[in-house]
Amino acid sequence: MAQATNNCPDVTIVGGGPAGMMAGVLLARAGVPVTVLEKHADFLRDFRGDTVHPSTLQLFHQLGWLEELLELPHSQVDEIGLKIAGRDCKIASFRKLPVAAPFIAMMPQWDLLDFLARKGRECAGFTLRMSTQATGVDTDAQGRIAGVRLASGEVLPSRLVIAADGRRSVLRDAAELPLEVLGAPMDVFWFRLSKPAALGGETFGTMQAGKFLIFIDRRDYFQCAYILRKGDAAAVRERGLDAFREILCGLAPELREVIHELADWDQVKLLDVALDRLTCWHKPGLLAIGDAAHAMSPIGGVGINVAVQDAVAAANILVDALLAGADPDPLLGKVQQSRWRAVTRMQAFQRFAQDRVVEPLLNRTEPIKKPFWPVRLANRFPVLRRIPGRVIGLGLDRVEIEAEAILHPRGRNNPA
Ligand SMILES: Cc1cc2nc3c(=O)[nH]c(=O)nc-3n(C[C@H](O)[C@H](O)[C@H](O)COP(=O)(O)OP(=O)(O)OC[C@H]3O[C@@H](n4cnc5c(N)ncnc54)[C@H](O)[C@@H]3O)c2cc1C
């Protein structure tokens, strides 16, 4: 195993989301000097994924951090249910997954990112620069990407740039990486409501013809996602807040006791859903990971976990070369290769669900008389609930931390 030295090449990671923070922490833990740039002053971004899946929890377990992570306020979901046509149906179960934590930890994303930032700061070579916005890349005389340009005018020279700046990545545009847009038929209205006493438990969402509402349990309140047809937001707003509140109460009558809290459209944020991917994630000197390489649909709530798994794959593949001061470029394609199947299969699953379930549901005007047959089967036979539980909970082609330098760091980065 190569040992950390002061001659290690610097890695600059643009974006302090789940992908960027995880990649930064893992590389720094192994002894690679890493700088993570985050354009916001803090991680307090609401209306993002809050689901830490069993596959991600297993990675924390591997690092010996699981118990500490689970000390943070969170709720645990080991079975997902939907209310369809007034009937509670269980559709996915994580209970039998062969992992240390067979449940989804519902935890605000900022808590997860703060946790990773704390872990990063325990490592000698980790630098996190908040309020630092990248605007583009710097190239050397051979055309290799050799650094990051900042909004301040500063240029940060780097041996490797990791673009983890999310689904509107400026770095991937600057590097002219080819984007394939797969499209999504829906958008999401996000808002929060106090948790009515009568609602909760395992029910995660409720659907009727043309309407779909999801609850993310933040313990004392619900982060609510109302799924609507792409482009319909203006029409829903035009019909007025009273009409929108009625739709919500029609979907979940328990909301009547709290619905007055929704007093202004300013409380309702529109997020346009994207599904896309780069067909090539890298260029000499630069690698894209997470949403910057492939924006995931919210279906299955897998985005954070796929992003984290990209980070782990990248760290596994690159760490030894970076520690040895070797050229990382020949390895960048391997990172994409190792993740391509998992990402494209998950996107295919999301597309299938979008096209075959969400879009017909949103276009439907006939009342739903009973849950669809696969849902009825899953509800009836617990063993069948394990299949969606496995796909959602563990993802496809699960990644583990394999690099010795990360698993058993030397010197200051080894807390033992
Ligand atoms: C409506 C919606 C609901 C979702 N629900 C879920 C869910 O329930 N569960 C789930 O797992 N996933 C969910 N996702 C997806 C999930 O949020 C993303 O897939 C995941 O956050 C991707 O992580 P990332 O690190 O690649 O990108 P991001 O989380 O987008 O992080 C990118 C970071 O880069 C920073 N940044 C951007 N540009 C720059 C720049 N130029 N310079 C410096 N910093 C920059 C941003 O501020 C951000 O912090 C949802 C997404 C959406 C849109």
Ligand 1 centroid vs 379 CA: distance in angstroms? 32
* CA neighbor of 272 nearest in space, from 252, 247, 298: 298
More confident: 139 or 204: 139
Edge to edge, the sheet with strand 126-129 lists 126-129, 34-37, 11-14, 160-163, 286-288, 282-283
Ligand 1 centroid vs 50 CA: distance in angstroms? 11
Ligand 1 mutation target, pool 271, 291, 312, most atoms within 8 A of CB: 291
Which pLDDT tens digit goes with each residue over 171-204? 999 999 999 999 889 999 999 999 887 776 555 7
Ligand 1 centroid vs 260 CA: distance in angstroms? 30
Alpha helix ranges (H) inside 105-223: 109-121, 170-174
* CA neighbor of 78 nearest in space, from 46, 53, 110: 53
283 burial level (CB within 10 Å; 0-12, 13-18, 19+): buried
Closest ligand 1 atom to residue 133 Cα is: 42
Ligand 1 centroid vs 167 CA: distance in angstroms? 7
Ligand 1 mutation target, pool 26, 39, 43, 161, most atoms within 8 A of CB: 39
Cβ partners under 8 Å of residue 377, min gap 6 = 384
260 burial level (CB within 10 Å; 0-12, 13-18, 19+): exposed
* Cα–Cα distance measured from residue 216 to residue 84, given in angstroms and rounded to the nearest whole number: 17
Which residues does ligand 1 sit against, CB inside 6 Å? 14-20, 37-40, 48-51, 133-134, 164-166, 170, 188, 271, 290-292, 296, 298, 301-305, 307
* CA neighbor of 370 nearest in space, from 358, 382, 359, 379: 379
* Cα–Cα distance measured from residue 341 to residue 20, given in angstroms and rounded to the nearest whole number: 21
Which pLDDT tens digit goes with each residue over 120-137? 999 999 999 999 999 999
Alpha helix ranges (H) inside 122-240: 170-174, 233-238
Ligand 1 centroid vs 166 CA: distance in angstroms? 5
Closest ligand 1 atom to residue 170 Cα is: 41
What is the average pLDDT value for the chain, to the nearest integer? 90
Q: Which of 223-227, 281-285, 303-307, 409-413 has the highest mean pLDDT?
A: 281-285
Ligand 1 centroid vs 20 CA: distance in angstroms? 10
Count CB atoms within 10 A of the CB of residue 30: 30
* Cα–Cα distance measured from residue 415 to residue 312, given in angstroms and rounded to the nearest whole number: 20
DSSP strand E in 41-163: where? 51-52, 75-77, 79-84, 87-93, 104-106, 126-129, 134-139, 145-150, 155-157, 160-163
How confident is residue 143, by pLDDT bands cut at 50, 70 and 90? very high
Ligand 1 centroid vs 107 CA: distance in angstroms? 15
User: pTM (2 decimals)?
Assistant: 0.91
CB burial readout 176-189, b (16+ within 10 A) else e: ebebeebebbbbbb
How confident is residue 3, by pLDDT bands cut at 50, 70 and 90? very low
Closest ligand 1 atom to residue 19 Cα is: 25
How confident is residue 101, by pLDDT bands cut at 50, 70 and 90? very high
- In angstroms, the Cα distances linking 320 to 1, 28, 323, 332, 416 are 7, 12, 5, 13, 21
Ligand 1 centroid vs 3 CA: distance in angstroms? 33
Ligand 1 mutation target, pool 25, 48, 218, most atoms within 8 A of CB: 48
* Cα–Cα distance measured from residue 226 to residue 269, given in angstroms and rounded to the nearest whole number: 10
Ligand 1 centroid vs 340 CA: distance in angstroms? 19
* Per-residue confidence (pLDDT) for residue 54, from 0 to 100: 96
Closest ligand 1 atom to residue 296 Cα is: 19
* Cα–Cα distance measured from residue 416 to residue 414, given in angstroms and rounded to the nearest whole number: 5
In the chain, % of residues over pLDDT 70:
95
Which pLDDT tens digit goes with each residue over 305-328? 999 999 999 999 999 999 999 999
CB burial readout 143-157, b (16+ within 10 A) else e: eebbbbbbeeeeebe
Residue nearest to atom 35 of ligand 1 (CA): 15
* Cα–Cα distance measured from residue 225 to residue 222, given in angstroms and rounded to the nearest whole number: 9
* Per-residue confidence (pLDDT) for residue 201, from 0 to 100: 57
Lowest mean pLDDT among 206-210, 248-252, 306-310, 319-323: 206-210
Chain centroid offset of residue 162 CA: 17
* Cα–Cα distance measured from residue 307 to residue 214, given in angstroms and rounded to the nearest whole number: 22
Which pLDDT tens digit goes with each residue over 281-302? 999 999 999 999 999 988 888 8
Is-contact 161 145, C-beta < 8 A?
A: yes
Structure tokens at 378: 């899953």
* Cα–Cα distance measured from residue 224 to residue 217, given in angstroms and rounded to the nearest whole number: 9
Edge to edge, the sheet with strand 145-150 lists 134-139, 145-150, 155-157
Ligand 1 centroid vs 94 CA: distance in angstroms? 24
Residue nearest to atom 7 of ligand 1 (CA): 49
Residue nearest to atom 14 of ligand 1 (CA): 49
